[in-house]
Amino acid sequence: MKIQVFPLQFENQQRIGIRPLGYDKSFPSMMKQVPGSRWTPEEGCWHIPYEPASYAVLKRLFGEGQIIRTEKQEMFPPPDTASPSRPAPSPAKLAYEDEVIRMEQKMRLQRYAYNTIKTYKSFFQLLVAFYPDRHPEGLEKEDLMQFLLHGIKERNWSGAAQNQAVNAVKYYYEKVLGQERSYYELRPRESRKLPGVFSEEEVVKLLKSVENLKHRTILMLIYSAGLRIGESIKLRKEDINLDRKQVFIIAAKGKKDRYSVLSEKVVQLLKVYLEEYKPDYWLFEGQDGGQYSASSIQKIFRRAVAKAGINPYSTVHTLRHSFATHLLERGMDLRYIQTLLGHNSSETTEIYTHITSKAREKLCSPLDFLDI
């Protein structure tokens, strides 16, 4: 597999951007083996530290002959001659940085989630930097279109990244400036991708492959209650009701509270876990106390997937998709599943009707009815 590497500045650090030249399903899992690798929607690519060690791993994984350097060689000295973690030059202050701060303050006052603020701010900063001599209030639709086209062409934005950029722009004009503007026509065409789902047999393999009590409890709880990874790390001890077999999720996506179900098997496992680990406040805590990290759960999951020998492109969120699909296959009403998942719209939940294997088994072609 050939990959293209190019210089990249990310969070004021010099990084090496990487994009595959063609499709290869093994690319994400290979990139995860490079220390310090990250994928960010704002950049629309994977990137690794500008360090000899990281670049050496990259060459070992893909082969030096498969690495295509950018045409702008003078911008990209060989990483093995660069000083480790060399910081990028400090960027000049944006002329209209005050507008970025103004938008961030507005979002904080409205209690937007930290990740949402970070994402919107990042995309809006790109817009302000793209037109350094023009106040963003005076930009027209054509200007915004050129900004998005630049992101798609030069930064290889995905459809999701383009959508987030439009959201950030809309927020500034409609919520900060109070203007009645809409830029829906600047959005990408809606993609109706079906989520990946484990079979029940694969879930069994996955969970059985985890021997550590704490790690197994985390993954079983996520599947049992259909939790998002961010919801699982925010659970407190008091959010678990073992007698009623319920888990209380506070301020989930969209700042909505909800209850979900606990399997009797998870209830018994939680009793053992609580007795052995005795967490202080959070249900799952790190080695030094405090909230468990999402990255730790992702590492647990990746090891379990590799050991179980199941779909290597699945994520922790696949357990949530599997929770909903398996409930639907066993006859639970879609409206109850919607409540358990915390979806605002039934249309969001209805996507699972397209991926249930038992529903597909009942389908047949009209040719089956013809006497041929």
Sign, CA dihedral 57-156-74-83, equals negative
Per the annotation, the verdict on 320 as an active-site residue is yes
Selected catalytic residue, list 234, 320, 321, 326: 320
Q: What share of the chain is helix, strand, coil (3-state, %, to 5)?
A: 50, 10, 35
Burial of residue 171 (number of CB atoms within 10 Å: 0-12, 13-18, 19+):
buried
Q: Which two tokens stand for residue 369?
A: 């009815």
Q: What are phi and psi of 46, to 5 degrees?
A: -85, 150
Is residue 192 part of the annotated active site? The answer reads no
Rounded CA separation 26/12 (Å)? 30
The pair of three-digit structure tokens given for residue 241, joined into one six-digit string: 């009701």
Local structure of residue 33 (DSSP, 8 states): T
Query: Which residues sit opposite 247 in a β-bridge?
Result: 240, 260
Distance CA 90, CA 62 (A): 32
Question: Which residue in 228, 234, 321, 326 is the catalytic one?
Answer: 228
Q: Pinpoint the alpha helices (H) of 209-293.
A: 213-225, 229-233, 264-277
Longest dimension (CA), the chain: 76
Q: Please list the alpha-helical segments (H only) found in 254-363.
A: 264-277, 294-308, 316-329, 334-341, 346-349, 357-361
* Radius of gyration over every alpha carbon of the chain, rounded to an integer in angstroms: 24
* Active-site entry in 253, 302, 303, 307: 253
Per-residue tokens: 314: 């699945």
Measured on CA atoms in the order 153, 155, 156, 159, is the torsion positive or negative? negative
What is the rounded distance in angstroms from the CA atom of residue 61 to the CA atom of residue 59? Answer: 6
Those residues with Cβ within 8 angstroms of residue 105's Cβ, 6 or more apart along the chain or in another chain: none
Cα within 13 Å of Cα(258), Cβ side: 21
- Rounded Cα distance between 76 and 69, Å, is 8
Q: Any catalytic annotation for residue 15?
A: no
Q: Is 265 a catalytic residue?
A: no
Residues marked as catalytic = 228, 253, 317, 320, 343, 352
